[in-house]
Structure 1
């Protein structure tokens, strides 16, 4: 395992076909009832005729229907005996074969790369790097590989396994695992702290005992971190998608927050009021592809804790017009204002592809909330409601596929 003594030791892949993440998520997003398909797949498993790819599809369907625990249990059973899967491709003779290196985690824990490759002439193989199985020797044939596992605790072993083999990888390897670790909330701010024109609050890991003492007046904010003060942002360590995220105004609200949470470790950071003069908050998602930033979306709301869905952009023509202008003018406006900061951030993070959730603070600086390699960049929004989005998404997808092709060509010439 993982020796790769011959750099050309690649083999025809023994993959299992699947419906895949993009198609099933599209259906769920469009309101398709996935329960009949789930029931058919369950019946095939019961009578012993299900293929590995169908098992993995069932795992995803369960998660899309809200049964995360059941979905992960099915995934674990499937990955115990099969790790390599092929996603649908738009052409019968692909121009390029990409190997995505994934971890055995929930559906949001790996880069949703299928969305980025939709409609392309690229074939996607996904290899799940599983504990006690590791990487196959020889590897399945591919032109370029990309690590899609996240920086989360659940992916640590998979990333370490890939990292051990990275220096001997027989093809170009993108989003190298040692750089994905830069995205940890409590590491990213240290990496970016001194970039001119960029504001990133220090994210500090605090134990429950420390926060309990702070709430009781037995400890000061400065005892936890120099720049920490009320109001602050708190979230359980390891949480995602806003679970447990709260603005803590004072010791009393901290005490109340702790009574509602059972976790022992939290991330805390100073709160930045990034509201514009009109009282609305504007939060942006950017994709950094091959070092260049692209606009993914702009969410506008009267609350600081914005996600695109809770901004209700579909219900406001005025908001959508502003988002359309943001996308149309990005290179000459937002992108130009923050070009130096974004360029330096991209250089320090060192990943070929990642996303940034950000805003602008009251001084006009680029305010960084988080950077991630697994945020969803998709083309599922209605073209009737969001006519400006599909051209923008196609621009991002084209940049992503061009990046893969460039690296694959360079690897073939090496």
Structure 2
């Protein structure tokens, strides 16, 4: 055990350091006794209280630990001890799953990091982790202010710059986010951080900086141009997926290639039947790595955004690369090019029993914000939806209720080119918005799931808030089961006929359709594309109906095997 530090005030060994040394040496009783003796003299010492709380956690006495941390947090100084205690308390409470309780603790004032203290290695790890927890609990501004206050001491810390950049991105400050993320990338070189590069890519896309997006994609593709799944006995064929570099949830090389949309889901659900491989086909590095791939029997094109493909000018490269294998291609690049958001809206116009929200593409070039706002207002009433050309899953999409919000979005959030779409208020009598998803596989159409929300942008069932919503509204799950089993009965006669009419006009092979049905029986078309998630990823007790998934998986097998004959 190292020599005890001497307190400058008393000339005696520092009791906190003595206790820490005893605890590290496994002498818990002596360490605890030292801390309690200190508290006899200084009952509110926050560091001693925090250390005792950690001892109680080790003993699985979390209630006692929380009480000790609450006592410690009554003293906001010194700030670094306060922050450490808050971090430890939130870690324990979140590990218990008590999110509401954690939010209560996170609502306390969060001090800035003091200028006079240089964070030690433990504190350097704690700061971004605490900021991440605070942001997750709704304290994004407090988290960003905390990291900003510490960054002066840690100017060369790439991890801290990355954490700050993520927070700036979450709060919509794209300029500050870009600067922080670039600084993180520079400080982490030559190491390649997949999560950092994907955050840089997301920021660049939000900013409309296509040159930066292409450079980041090229860097990721060079690091891992192809991925080949392990071979298994009984696999019937090799299937090559043309993937694009993804920019979320990367924790492995496989995750870099296979995302959460249906091609990635198939690579899991049908792994025993087909050997799935991936190549970043838009990237020169991916096409150059062709020799690393076993010969495929089929290609599934997952570069499925018409607008993104047009922006990159990659259609011909993809067409030529696909042709070089001499095998069938699902969702061929030429078909993708014909299925853009505005093209689909135009080709579906006039279909009976179908309401297609008006959609128009706008370009900022040569226009002031006021001029562009006037052009939009000439075609659309408020509220309206503005969104980027490329992003999916609700990213880059904003509801705008008045001219002030529109001018702000034009100045800060929307890239050079963007879509504006008519907002259709489809709330039901229960007050919920609803989004229904159908899967199209060749001529097969199956309703896969329905989601509800009190918010206009209806998401799935991944976040804790959405999980809690469905556990509190289980009647919706029963309604979903009936809806998927017999759509015409639950939604009204003619719904499936309308979906088949949509299918006939959309030039894709496998894709998803998002829609709802109004009280008057009309189907509201939200979108159709080949990059949707079709199979459930929700917790077992709130998953969408298994019978719907099994029908669509059977249709997928049949369609794939038909192409392999």
Q: For 2:550 and 2:320, locate their aligned partners in 1 and report how far apart those are by CA, in whole Å.
A: 35
Does residue 293 (structure 1) correspond to residue 435 (structure 2)? The answer is no
Give 1:238 shift.
2.9
- Give the direction of change, closer, same or farther, for the CA distance of 1:262–1:187 in structure 2 (3 Å limit): closer
Q: Which of residues 205, 208, 212 in structure 1 aligns to 2:370?
A: 212
- Give the direction of change, closer, same or farther, for the CA distance of 1:407–1:85 in structure 2 (3 Å limit): same
- Give the direction of change, closer, same or farther, for the CA distance of 1:315–1:359 in structure 2 (3 Å limit): same
**3-state SS of 2:327 partner:** coil
**3-state SS of 1:276 partner:** coil
Give 1:403 shift.
0.9
Residue number in structure 2 paired with 1:8: none
Q: For 2:369 and 2:529, locate their aligned partners in 1 and report how far apart those are by CA, in whole Å.
A: 27
Give 1:189 shift.
0.6
Does residue 69 (structure 1) correspond to residue 165 (structure 2)? The answer is no
- Give the direction of change, closer, same or farther, for the CA distance of 1:254–1:82 in structure 2 (3 Å limit): closer
Give 1:349 shift.
1.4
Residue number in structure 2 paired with 1:371: 528
Q: For 2:278 and 2:493, locate their aligned partners in 1 and report how far apart those are by CA, in whole Å.
A: 36
Q: Which runs of 5+ in 1 are unaligned?
A: 1-30, 32-57, 410-414
- Whether the 8 Å contact between 2:488 and 2:494 is mirrored in structure 1 is no
Count of aligned residue pairs for this structure pair: 343
Residue number in structure 1 paired with 2:295: 141
- Give the direction of change, closer, same or farther, for the CA distance of 1:104–1:67 in structure 2 (3 Å limit): closer
Residue number in structure 2 paired with 1:44: none
Does residue 122 (structure 1) correspond to residue 274 (structure 2)? The answer is yes
Q: For 2:427 and 2:516, locate their aligned partners in 1 and report how far apart those are by CA, in whole Å.
A: 9
Structure with more of its chain in helix, by fraction: 2
Residue number in structure 2 paired with 1:389: 545
CA distances 1:73-123 after superposition (whole Å, capped 9, x unpaired):
99744632763322256x423112212122334359975423124343111
- Whether the 8 Å contact between 1:381 and 1:389 is mirrored in structure 2 is no
Give 1:130 shift.
4.0
RMSD over aligned Cα atoms: 3.5
Residue number in structure 1 paired with 2:121: none
**3-state SS of 1:183 partner:** coil
Q: For 2:488 and 2:241, locate their aligned partners in 1 and report how far apart those are by CA, in whole Å.
A: 30
CA distances 1:5-25 after superposition (whole Å, capped 9, x unpaired):
xxxxxxxxxxxxxxxxxxxxx
Question: What is the correspondence of 1:147-226 to structure 2 with a 5 Å cutoff?
Answer: 147-151=301-305, 153-155=307-309, 156-164=312-320, 170-208=326-364, 209=367, 212-213=370-371, 215=373, 221-222=377-378, 225=379
- Whether the 8 Å contact between 1:273 and 1:361 is mirrored in structure 2 is no
CA distances 1:35-87 after superposition (whole Å, capped 9, x unpaired):
xxxxxxxxxxxxxxxxxxxxxxx976x37xx9633999997446327633222
Give 1:280 shift.
2.0
- Give the direction of change, closer, same or farther, for the CA distance of 1:82–1:275 in structure 2 (3 Å limit): closer
Give 1:363 shift.
3.2
- Whether the 8 Å contact between 1:134 and 1:158 is mirrored in structure 2 is no
What is the TM-score normalised by the length of structure 1?
Answer: 0.71
Residue number in structure 1 paired with 2:511: 354
Does residue 85 (structure 1) correspond to residue 223 (structure 2)? The answer is no
- Give the direction of change, closer, same or farther, for the CA distance of 1:244–1:127 in structure 2 (3 Å limit): closer
Give 1:331 shift.
6.3
Pick 1 or 2: higher relative contact order, CA cutoff 8 A, min separation 6: 1
Q: Which of residues 94, 97, 100 in structure 1 aligns to 2:235?
A: 94
Question: What is the correspondence of 1:264-413 to structure 2 with a 5 Å cutoff?
Answer: 264-309=416-461, 312-330=469-487, 333-334=490-491, 337-386=494-543, 389-409=545-565
Residue number in structure 2 paired with 1:42: none
Q: For 2:248 and 2:328, locate their aligned partners in 1 and report how far apart those are by CA, in whole Å.
A: 26
**3-state SS of 2:501 partner:** helix
- Give the direction of change, closer, same or farther, for the CA distance of 1:157–1:326 in structure 2 (3 Å limit): same
- Whether the 8 Å contact between 1:289 and 1:352 is mirrored in structure 2 is yes
Residue number in structure 2 paired with 1:230: 382
Q: Which runs of 5+ in 2 are unaligned?
A: 1-96, 98-191, 203-212, 250-257
Q: For 2:448 and 2:368, locate their aligned partners in 1 and report how far apart those are by CA, in whole Å.
A: 38
Judge which range, 297-306 or 390-399, deviates more.
390-399
- Whether the 8 Å contact between 1:59 and 1:70 is mirrored in structure 2 is no
Q: For 1:237 and 1:396, locate their aligned partners in 2 and report how far apart those are by CA, in whole Å.
A: 29
Give 1:126 shift.
1.5
**3-state SS of 1:254 partner:** helix
- Give the direction of change, closer, same or farther, for the CA distance of 1:296–1:212 in structure 2 (3 Å limit): farther
Judge which range, 172-181 or 277-286, deviates more.
277-286
Q: For 2:445 and 2:329, locate their aligned partners in 1 and report how far apart those are by CA, in whole Å.
A: 21
Q: For 2:220 and 2:388, locate their aligned partners in 1 and report how far apart those are by CA, in whole Å.
A: 30
- Give the direction of change, closer, same or farther, for the CA distance of 1:262–1:97 in structure 2 (3 Å limit): closer
**3-state SS of 1:99 partner:** strand
Q: For 1:78 and 1:281, locate their aligned partners in 2 and report how far apart those are by CA, in whole Å.
A: 38
- Whether the 8 Å contact between 1:383 and 1:390 is mirrored in structure 2 is no
Q: For 1:292 and 1:346, locate their aligned partners in 2 and report how far apart those are by CA, in whole Å.
A: 10
Q: For 1:144 and 1:257, locate their aligned partners in 2 and report how far apart those are by CA, in whole Å.
A: 43
What is the TM-score normalised by the length of structure 2?
Answer: 0.53
Point out the structure with max Rg over C-alpha.
2
Residue number in structure 1 paired with 2:173: none
- Give the direction of change, closer, same or farther, for the CA distance of 1:334–1:400 in structure 2 (3 Å limit): farther
- Give the direction of change, closer, same or farther, for the CA distance of 1:259–1:102 in structure 2 (3 Å limit): closer
